[in-house]
Structure 1
Amino acid sequence: MEALLSQTKPASTLPLSKRLKLATHTAHKRVDKAIMALSPFTSLDDYKRFLKVQYQFQRHTAPLYKRPDLCEQLERLEQRCRFNSVMLDINDLSIKTEELNVSPIPPPTIGSQAAALGWLYVNEGSNLGAAFLLKYASQLGLSAHFGARHLAPNNAGRGLHWRLFIAQLDAISLSEEQERQAIKGARDAFTFVESLALNSH
């Protein structure tokens, strides 16, 4: 197992979450544009394309939520994983397994613990922004209990759920190199989702 992240002085006076936000602003905008280009709420078929993108991303990130080193740094991390919710949505909409097993884009390697933090930042942030997606999904007859479970808020509410994650993330002290790895991880995550959306069929 990789050694715990170093406890050296942070590379920046800004919290890690702010550094990640600034460093991924452009990539985040590209992802938003690519997702909306799918017109995921125009029809159920279009929503299924969107759900397949979510499946590929959540499947790739799911192992991070069980890693002991990350769970030691981020309390109750395993409970945050949304892959099971995506699978329930897929079953609700009767999407065939063979449609899911072929990814149009090979997932990037998550090469370090610091990089994994960047991926988790992107995934957790996507849940924060899912409120309006769930609202649009309701127009297709979907809900937090059928077909759009992965877009549902945590029981604590989206805002508090996110703030708790950010507080823990920002409490982790990274070296300058580890911060670069975290930023690269976040950018890789956004690029992966964008590529999945652009190549969705």
Structure 2
Amino acid sequence: MSVDGDVLAPSRILRFRAASSALHQRVDDSVMQAAPFASRENYARFLRFQYRLHLRVAPLYAAAELQALLPDLASRARLSRVENDLLDLGLVRPEVAESAPMLPLPEALGWLYVVEGSNMGAAFLLKAAIKLDLSEDFGARHLAAHPEGRGLHWRRFTEALDAIPLTTEEDRRAEAATVSAFSHVLDLVREELA
């Protein structure tokens, strides 16, 4: 239930998933069609894509307001790990002209859901990266699991996200933001991996 008394589906996370599932599938399909683990050259393009995505959301992970609502948020940021992966492979950070403005709370929650959810699929990606002689310590740091495990780490995030009080209108904005975030990710896939 939202803070303004309107009844919504029981879980914000389930609503987010339902709102964005079609786009999420398109992103997954597009990434895999690009064969990012077929060669180190393809993987370099994948890292550029990851860099641009994590640069875009970096202000969210640094925001005190969001850290107060999602207590381990700062430790979840992966931009520095992507930067180290680029360095490991002798790659330069992409020149990025786009700015990364801070989003209002509802939109920020939608974007964080998308980026944090990507860490769940990273287990599969890490196995593929290992075939390129990459690892959690070299070139694929950003794909590493949290020490407590991916499942528990995700569950802690989703429980905290579900507990944040929002109005019905804010909840709908947050849901819409998941679609916007996946659309942005799809654009990045087309620009960097196509």
User: TM-score, normalized by length of structure 2?
Assistant: 0.93
Contact 2:45–2:192 under 8 Å retained in 1 = yes
Question: Once superposed, what is the RMSD of the aligned Cα atoms?
Answer: 1.7
Corresponding residue of 2:25: 29
**Aligned residue pairs: how many?**
192
Displacement after TM superposition at 1:32 (Å): 0.4
Contact 2:60–2:102 under 8 Å retained in 1 = no
Alignment of 1:40-59 (within 5 A): 40-59=36-55
Which of 156, 159, 163 is the aligned partner of 1:164?
156
Mind listing any 5+ residue stretches in structure 2 that lack a counterpart?
A: none
Corresponding residue of 1:125: 117
Alignment of 1:7-18 (within 5 A): 7-9=3-5, 11-18=7-14
Contact 1:38–1:49 under 8 Å retained in 2 = no
Displacement after TM superposition at 1:13 (Å): 3.3
Corresponding residue of 1:153: 145
Displacement after TM superposition at 1:135 (Å): 0.1
User: TM-score, normalized by length of structure 1?
Assistant: 0.90
CA distance in 1, matches of 2:174, 2:57: 14
Equivalent position SS for 1:24: helix
Contact 2:126–2:144 under 8 Å retained in 1 = yes
1:181 aligns with 2:173: yes
Which of 54, 76, 82 is the aligned partner of 1:80?
76
CA distance in 2, matches of 1:8, 1:49: 45
> AA paired with 1:78?
A
Pair 1:48–1:11, CA change in 2 (3 A): farther
Q: What does the per-residue CA deviation read over 1:84-126, in whole Å, with 9 as the maximum and x for residues that have no partner?
A: 11011010011123xx0146xx578664111000000001100
Pair 1:10–1:75, CA change in 2 (3 A): farther
> AA paired with 1:167?
E
Corresponding residue of 1:3: none
Q: Which runs of 4+ in 1 moved over 2 A?
A: 6-11, 106-111
